[in-house]
Structure 1
Amino acid sequence: MSIVSQKVKEENRFSLTVDNFFKMFSVGYLLKKSNAYKDKGIPCLTVFKVLFELVFTGKNLFMNYKAESFDIPFARDVAYRFLNSIHINWQRF
């Protein structure tokens, strides 16, 4: 078994764990209640999930874009606008 395939399996397993966590604790519902929404494009839950996974895998958003990694399905501006949105009540979340 190669190191690359083992790493991919671990990332897939972690992604499933994060999905289960989001379902168990209704993170999508909590985001909606804290006024997190987007008019078009990639859903807020997807953006939040990717950012959440980056934190726990020890990866950096900036370095992923600099390395031209295609693991992130949206542009850098989407993440920054989501995190800095004045409409989202992060304290309520």
Structure 2
Amino acid sequence: MNIVPHHHHSCEAASSKIQRFFTEFHVSQILRSCNAYKVRGFAVMAIFLVAFEAAFQRRSFYQRKKDAPESIPFERDTFYRFLNSCAIHWRKFTLLLGTAIIQKAIAPLTSGARRNVLIIDDSLFSRNRSKKVELLARVYDHVSGTYMK
């Protein structure tokens, strides 16, 4: 006997919005241009949709498979093998998807007379109490004139 979770309708609404996002920004074409192919088995878009939905539903693949095993037709090996594939150019994918979003959603919001700019904030986050943190280094802060971790 299956019990439908109380947030089932919100998950369906989020899934339909994600599907609409995929079609509007041509995510399947971007994935194909980044060498995301499957020789056999499940479709690339089916696997990528599960990965994309996991980010917005705040649930891991394991939790989703455990709660509703019929909603995900493939096993975890297929999922993680796809995400860890070295043949897929993930950096190119994020660049192309970001470019598509900027061109279709953000660029029309500004007029042609205005300049488009990208502002990057290089403020430092002090980690003076940390000793063994990944990528921890001493950096000179030009604002305070001191070195910070």
Report the CA distance between 1:5 and its aligned residue.
6.8
More helix by share: 1
Q: Which has the higher strand share?
A: 2
Q: What's the CA shift string for 1:30-72, capped at 9, x where partnerless?
A: 000000000111111110001100111000113334x363132
Please tell me whether Structure 1 or Structure 2 has the larger radius of gyration of its CA atoms. 2
Name the count of aligned residue pairs: 89
Identical positions, percent: 35
Structure 1 moving runs of 4+ over 4 Å: none
Report what 1:51 is aligned to.
Answer: 51
> Which residue of 1 is the match for residue 77 of structure 2?
77
Q: Which has the higher contact order (CA 8 A, sep 6+)?
A: 1
- What residue number does 1:28 align with? 28
Change (3 A) 1:68 1:14: closer
Per the normalisation by structure 1, the TM-score is: 0.85
Instruction: Classify the secondary structure of the residue corresponding to 1:54.
Output: helix
Secondary structure in 2 aligned to 1:56?
A: helix
Gaps of 5+ in 2: 94-149
Q: Which moved more, 1:23-32 or 1:56-65?
A: 56-65
CA–CA distance in structure 2, aligned partners of residues 73 and 51 of structure 1: 13
